[in-house]
Amino acid sequence: MVEMTYREALRQALADAMTENPDIILLGEEVGRYGGAYGVTRDLIKEFGAHRVIDTPISEAAIVGAAVGAAMTGLRPVAELMYVDFIGMTMDQLANQAAKIRYMFGGQIGVPMVLRTQGGTGRSAGAQHSQSLEAYVMHTPGLRLAMPATVADAYHLLRQAMTCPDPVVFIEHKALYTMKEDVDLAAEPLPWGKAAVRRAGDDLVIVTYSRQVHHAMAAAATLAAQGIEATVIDLRTLNPLDFDTIRPFVERAGRAMVVSEGVMTAGVGAELSARITEECFDFLHDPVVRVAGEDIPISVSPALEAGSVPGPALIAETALRMLA
């Protein structure tokens, strides 16, 4: 076991994969000399050279488009989008090109690329640097979507993403980079596409991902002190979505809450809630409850920012209401 941060685990995943596969290249703004806006690619340019760790102009659409072309011609590009908030600028290349090329061209070729980015609140970064936009990606058939919550998953999911035959959007959480964990990177990871049961309990099921896994675990600890046992499921990947892991827990508990930092309306929680309702209807005592970000932009004011997204208190409070 070694102690490392989420940031270090991501870096390690990139370094290990680049050592194994000479066709992996990194490209993005500030990924080289600067080492990445959040430090994930620090010094990789020294290890692998400027022809594999490529600093680009501030041209998001062309960065993603170039990754598409590189992936179609034999490289394994890992592009970095500094903030998920800039995904709009890349959306044509991502949604109309990367996502559809295999299908439109009748299966002739895939686009094995990874788009690494980060999202979420926690740094008073304001309305255009704090969003959780995973629903944009999840709404696009053809794109895979991974969102690691733990240090071990930061490593393993990124390694797995770099072997995926299809385009993967990999969204890190900016508030997790300094989180530390003891990890054994040699241990066999969960397979790609499998959700993790972080905690099991029979009273209710909390389905979540990314940073909210930690908030859900904190809430579950509070609830346990009051005699309520919650299951916490960390989805790890939103596409593929592992419903098989969710189903038996919901059938047993009869109550489910879905938690996401992104806004509630038409968000990931809406999809999860619909799936659970459709597939576990006969087992449910209550409607599936969505705990999510408010349907508003994120303010720079730290007070308003914190108030805009769920935390352990709202999750615990909601669970108590459900079980009242």
Partner 1 sequence: MTPPFPTGSNSDLGRLYRTMRRVRSFEERVGELFVRGQSAGSMLHLSIGEESAAVGVCAAMKPQDTFTTHHRGHGIFLARGADPNRMMAEIGGKEAGYCHGKGGSMHIADMGLGHLGANAIVGGGIPAVVGAGLSARHKGNGAVSVAFFGDGATGQGILYESMNMAALWKLPVLFCCINNQYGMGTRIDNATANTALHERALAFGLAAETVDGLDVEAVAEAARRLVDGARAGRPAFLAVDCYRFFGHARKDKSPYRDPAEEDEGRMKDPVAHARARLIDTGMTAAALDAMDGEIDAEMDATIDFTIAQTEPPLASMFRDVYAPTEPEPEPVRARIARVLART
Ligand X SMILES: Cc1ncc(C[n+]2csc(CCOP(=O)(O)OP(=O)(O)O)c2C)c(N)n1
Q: Which residues are catalytic?
A: 60, 129
Q: How far apart are CA 246 and CA 209, in angstroms?
A: 13
228 three-state secondary structure: coil
Is the torsion defined by CA of 205, 207, 210, 215 positive or negative?
negative
Is 63 a residue that touches ligand X (CB under 6 A)? no
72 three-state secondary structure: helix
Distance of CA 70 to CAs 65, 78, 110, 175, Å? 9, 10, 11, 31
The window from 81-89, 182-190, 207-215, 232-240 that contacts ligand X (CB under 6 A) reads 81-89
Q: Quick one: which of 22, 141, 248, 307 contacts partner 1 (CB under 8 A)?
A: 307
Site string for partner 1, 131-170 (x = CB under 8 A): ----------------------------------------
- Of 55 and 181, the one with the shorter C-beta distance to ligand X is 55
Q: Quick one: which of 60, 172, 242, 261 contacts ligand X (CB under 6 A)?
A: 60
Check: CB of residue 260 under 8 Å from CB of residue 227: no
163 three-state secondary structure: coil
Stretch 20-39 residues interacting with ligand X (CB under 6 A):
29
Q: How far apart are CA 191 and CA 188, in angstroms?
A: 9
Is 300 a residue that touches partner 1 (CB under 8 A)? yes
Backbone angles phi, psi at 174, to 5 degrees: -65, -25
Is 64 a residue that touches ligand X (CB under 6 A)? no
Q: How far apart are CA 191 and CA 32, in angstroms?
A: 31
Is 13 a residue that touches ligand X (CB under 6 A)? no
Is 82 a residue that touches ligand X (CB under 6 A)? yes
Residue 323 interacting entry, from ligand X, partner 1, none, C-beta within 5 to 8 Å by type: none
Is 91 a residue that touches partner 1 (CB under 8 A)? no
- Helix axis angle for 212-225 and 312-323, nearest 10°, is 50
Q: Quick one: which of 19, 21, 59, 96 contacts partner 1 (CB under 8 A)?
A: 59
Instruction: Return residues touching ligand X (CB under 6 A).
Output: 29, 58, 60, 82, 86, 89
